[in-house]
Amino acid sequence: MPGGAVTAAVGPGPGPRLGPGLGPGLGKVDGVIGRLREIGAGLPGGDGVAVFNRMYLTVTETVRDRLTACDRPYFADPVAMAELDAAFAGRYLLAVDADAAGGRPPACWRPLFELRADPDVHPVQFALAGMNAHIQHDLPLAVLDTCHRLGCPPDELAGDYDRINGLLAEVETTVREQLMPGPDLLERAEPLTHRVGAWSVDAARETAWTSVLALWELRGVPLAAAALAAALDGSVGLLGRALLTPLGFHGTTAAPAPGRLPVAGNRPGVGRTPRPGDQAQLECSGLPSA
């Protein structure tokens, strides 16, 4: 299945986007999950793209679980979130397809694809570099795609945006806990701890929402919107390259085992306490803080 196939437009049916209307969007999410599993099966475990792909599969399976939760609905508008999830994933899949075809992925993804086999880059760096590209660049564009498709402004998706990004934060925490070196490597791990500590999913999603609002305001000025999107692509790529600076961990860390990562308990999407490095991350991104 080509990456773009999962982003095919399906307009909302009449009435509220609830209940049976979830079917088409859920089918797209299932298609994404199948494609992520296919990609993972074809890559060695230590490959940098495989590290991110495994983590992203966990996120997407978790979102699907929440979309179909009937006893306690997680999303206020599951139909819109299914559309957003498919559009969001489609941008990563297009990058995978571009690389597989011998082309160049978007600038935000190039560091991960170019350094995927570097033995001196730690697995947690690969995971966070992929999250950086996907959240700070792909997510704002996917939100806008979804708004245009469903005919709604971003504000109508804001509550569920926080919820879906809360799931990303849960997985990020698990990834850090599973992939960071143990106590026996603390001295060598200090540069790694410093580097990955300067990036957080909370700051990334807040920056992404700022980008959503800026691009939405420019929707009637295509040239300005395209220029901002291109600048966003480039600045996110620069931050990704910094996250992937080789730190000499060759031979000290085993590749993470395949399979679904456990997801921690729910974390609030708003009102969180600022974490060290948040402001530095926003400055690196080239965008103003929220």
Using a CB cutoff of 8 Å and minimum separation of 24, what contacts does 186-190 make? Answer: 188/248, 188/249, 188/252
pLDDT band, very low/low/confident/very high, at 261 (cuts 50, 70, 90): very low
pLDDT of 170: 79
* Angle (nearest 5°) at CA 236 between 225 and 187: 165
7 closest CA partner among 77, 92, 65: 92
CB 214 within 8 A of CB 142: no
Q: Is the dihedral of CA 56, 194, 178, 168 positive or negative?
A: negative
From 33-37, 55-59, 61-65, 178-182, the region with the lowest mean pLDDT: 178-182
How confident is the model over 250-271, as a mean pLDDT? 42
pLDDT of 222: 96
Helix (H, G, I), strand (E, B) or coil at 42: coil
Chain position carrying tokens 């992929």: 130
The tokens of 256 are what? 């993470």
Q: Indicate the average pLDDT of the chain.
A: 78
pLDDT of 186: 44
272 to each of 53, 74, 117, 190, how far by Cα in Å?
27, 20, 35, 26
